[in-house]
Structure 1
Amino acid sequence: MKNLKKIRVLRDLTQIQLQMETGINQSILSKYETGEYTPTTENLLTLAAFYKTSVDFLLDLTDEEKPYPRKKGTDGGA
């Protein structure tokens, strides 16, 4: 998951700082970045919201860091 580490480094954050901001344990973040673990849906959504990016970017499915624009009239909720 190269983009997960890339965005953290570009934002000049350590894994400890990211843990403090998101509540996701540093050792888990490390395993996500190395590909040892796949992030849970909950953690992916937390990270995407924190970074203001798309889950697709975090999962290396796109190189576009900016999230997809929302359609008018949608609230993004369930």
Structure 2
Amino acid sequence: MYLKRLKILRINAGLKQTDIADILGIQQTVYSRYERGFQTIPLHFLVKLADFYNTSTDYLLNRTNNINSYPDE
């Protein structure tokens, strides 16, 4: 699954793949595979990135165009 928005959010935040890989506790090459769609990103990493970017997993998965995260209930 190609997650184009991961790359866009990372670049807009002024971060490198190594920065995100460090946040996730993985190697840059593994993160690069997630970003390019060569490897499926584990759900717990997807949730962590949604929290980091203050957005929703639906936005990352291209299921909505609303970049705002869901309000806390």
Q: Normalising by the residue count of structure 2, what TM-score does the alignment of the two structures yield? A: 0.83
Structure 1 stretches of 4+ with a deviation exceeding 2 A read none
Structure 1, unpaired ranges of 5+ = 72-78
Cα distance in 2 between the residues matched to 1:24 and 1:55: 20
Structure whose CA Rg is larger: 1
How many percent of aligned residue pairs carry the same amino acid?
A: 38
Q: 2:29 aligns with which of 27, 30, 35?
A: 27
Q: 1:54 aligns with which of 47, 53, 56?
A: 56
Kindly report the root-mean-square deviation, in angstroms, between the aligned alpha carbons of the 2 structures: 1.4
Q: Deviations over 1:38-70 (max 9, x none)?
A: 211111111111111111111121222111223
Cα distance in 2 between the residues matched to 1:19 and 1:11: 14
Q: 1:5 aligns with which of 4, 7, 11?
A: 7
Q: Normalising by the residue count of structure 1, what TM-score does the alignment of the two structures yield? A: 0.78
